[in-house]
């Protein structure tokens, strides 16, 4: 199944038609669909060589690459030649690849080659500068180990820096596009599945059970299930020594979202933990959030969340229970997951509601806004006790001075009037254009006892979401 990626495909085809040497980098987390994108791009092309690298030793990698080149060139001398290293192999390619012909050379999972030979980027740079950049080649290099791609391929200090002509960061699908993989399910089940798999193409394809409970039992809490070991596999692939990263992500998943809380949980100094978090942030596993009204560069009390839904779920429910799952003592594990699933899903529901508002904003079906996010702050009650306030969604527009306050309730038959009253009370503490702003309110829920019909109030239930997301 190949869904969307229209922008990325269009970019590749536009670059291909330019008939000048191109060096395109594609990177993104495992299972996100990089190989499918390359395959889709190659479908209507005749002149291409495609090599999918793996974790073999360098000699075997060169041999397998050679076989793919031979399948295209039919060069018998190439087939009989043994190349001792990449330098020899690329040196031969310069003599056999025609300079004028538009040929695609795609190397998938480049990071496996780099892991077996860290000098590979330098070798590739040498032959790009001396030969490939003077031909009509269309070179694609793709990699799944995001940290390695950023450091060894895209970083300023990389030998390949400045050689690429463009890059594609392939990210997971949003909820709207993920829904296309789950057309046989209703909107509620789509949200439940998405809260566990996120928008990773491979994971979405794995959804085939009738309901969420069966999916969890077969795919997560059975030792043989696809998703049980996937989290550990992803982390061990990305990091040589994943122990501290595992502890940090477990801490965040269990609700320790502030730096000092994470530091106390892991048992390491905040400065050291901060460096680890910076790495997780750089490769897209963790995100830092601040109140929408604050400057992220100046606000120091930001909170950290796991960006990826699958890893968020895995670190909250699977990783802490690995010992029980290993001995197949899973009844309590399953019961705990199912009882906590509504609360867990409520946070993902906030993200989906945010996407819903952004979609309506794009279609100009709701008030315009330039920024959207969450908000939290503090106030003193009558007893001078410091209390925290939080608003799920706040959207604002600097030009029009319009502000939208939103609450997201993953519950049915919600009393909208009560929620609106509470929301209005909390909105008083949001310090943004107080004398000039025009206020609007939005409430999301599975369903309502009765929707509020006022000009500045919006109530959206699952039926409304289904109209937009399908």
The reply to whether 265 and 212 lie within a common domain is yes
Domain boundary among 348, 373, 388: 348
The reply to whether 364 and 327 lie within a common domain is no
CATH of the domain at 89: 3.40.50.300
| 221 lies in some domain | yes
**Total structural domains in the chain?**
3
pLDDT tens column, 134-189: 999 999 999 999 999 999 999 999 999 999 999 999 999 999 999 999 999 999 99
CATH of the domain at 336: 1.10.10.10
pLDDT of residue 1: 61
pLDDT of residue 112: 96
**Cβ contact 360:468 at 8 Å:** yes
pLDDT of residue 434: 87
**Cβ contact 114:158 at 8 Å:** no
The reply to whether 83 and 224 lie within a common domain is no
The reply to whether 18 and 154 lie within a common domain is yes
The reply to whether 216 and 335 lie within a common domain is yes
| 290 lies in some domain | yes
| Residues in the chain with pLDDT values less than 50 | none
| 306 lies in some domain | yes
The reply to whether 211 and 156 lie within a common domain is no
Quote the tokens at residue 203. 């994971």
The reply to whether 151 and 64 lie within a common domain is yes
| 1 lies in some domain | no
Supply the range of the domain harboring residue 294: 176-348
CATH of the domain at 374: 3.40.1350
Domain boundary among 169, 184, 200: 169
């Amino acid at each position: 199944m190949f869904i969307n990626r229209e922008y990325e495909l269009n970019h590749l085809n536009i670059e291909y038609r330019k008939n000048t040497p191109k060096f395109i980098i594609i990177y993104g987390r495992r299972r996100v669909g990089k190989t499918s994108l390359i395959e889709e791009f190659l479908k209507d092309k005749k002149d291409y060589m495609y090599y999918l690298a793996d974790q073999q030793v360098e000699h075997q990698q060169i041999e397998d690459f050679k076989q793919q080149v031979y399948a295209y060139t039919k060069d018998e001398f190439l087939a009989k030649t043994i190349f001792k290293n990449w330098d020899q192999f690329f040196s031969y390619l310069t003599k056999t690849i025609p300079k004028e012909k538009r040929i695609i050379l795609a190397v998938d999972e480049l990071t496996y080659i780099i892991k077996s030979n860290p000098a590979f980027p330098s070798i590739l740079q040498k032959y790009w500068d001396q030969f490939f950049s003077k031909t009509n080649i269309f070179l694609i290099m793709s990699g799944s180990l995001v940290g390695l791609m950023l450091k060894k391929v895209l970083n300023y200090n990389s030998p390949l820096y400045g050689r690429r002509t463009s890059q594609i960061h392939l990210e997971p699908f949003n909820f709207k596009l993920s829904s296309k993989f789950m057309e046989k399910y209703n909107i509620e089940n789509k949200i439940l599945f998405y809260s566990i798999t996120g928008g990773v193409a491979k994971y979405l394809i794995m959804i085939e059970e009738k309901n969420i409970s069966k999916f969890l039992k077969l795919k997560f809490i059975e030792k043989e299930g696809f998703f049980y070991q996937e989290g550990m596999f992803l982390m061990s692939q990305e990091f040589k020594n994943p122990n501290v990263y595992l502890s940090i992500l477990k801490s965040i998943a269990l609700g320790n979202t502030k730096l000092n809380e994470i530091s106390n949980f892991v048992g390491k100094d905040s400065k050291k933990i901060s460096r680890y978090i910076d790495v997780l942030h750089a490769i897209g596993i963790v995100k830092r959030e601040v109140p929408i009204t604050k400057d992220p560069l100046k606000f120091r009390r930001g909170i950290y969340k796991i960006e990826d839904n699958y890893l968020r779920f895995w670190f909250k429910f699977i990783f802490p229970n690995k010992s029980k799952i290993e001995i197949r003592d899973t009844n309590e594990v399953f019961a705990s997951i199912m009882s906590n699933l509504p609360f867990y899903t409520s946070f993902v529901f906030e993200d989906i509601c945010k996407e819903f508002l952004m979609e309506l904003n794009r279609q100009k079906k709701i008030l315009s806004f330039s920024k959207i996010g969450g908000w939290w702050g503090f106030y003193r009650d009558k007893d001078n006790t410091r209390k925290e306030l939080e608003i799920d969604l706040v959207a604002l527009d600097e030009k029009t001075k319009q502000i939208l306050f939103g609450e997201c309730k993953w519950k049915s038959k919600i009393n909208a009037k009560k929620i609106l009253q509470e929301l209005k009370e909390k909105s008083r503490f949001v310090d943004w254009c107080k004398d000039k702003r025009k206020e609007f309110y939005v409430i999301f829920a599975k369903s309502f006892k009765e929707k509020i019909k006022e000009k500045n109030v919006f109530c959206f239930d699952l039926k409304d979401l289904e109209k937009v997301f399908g």
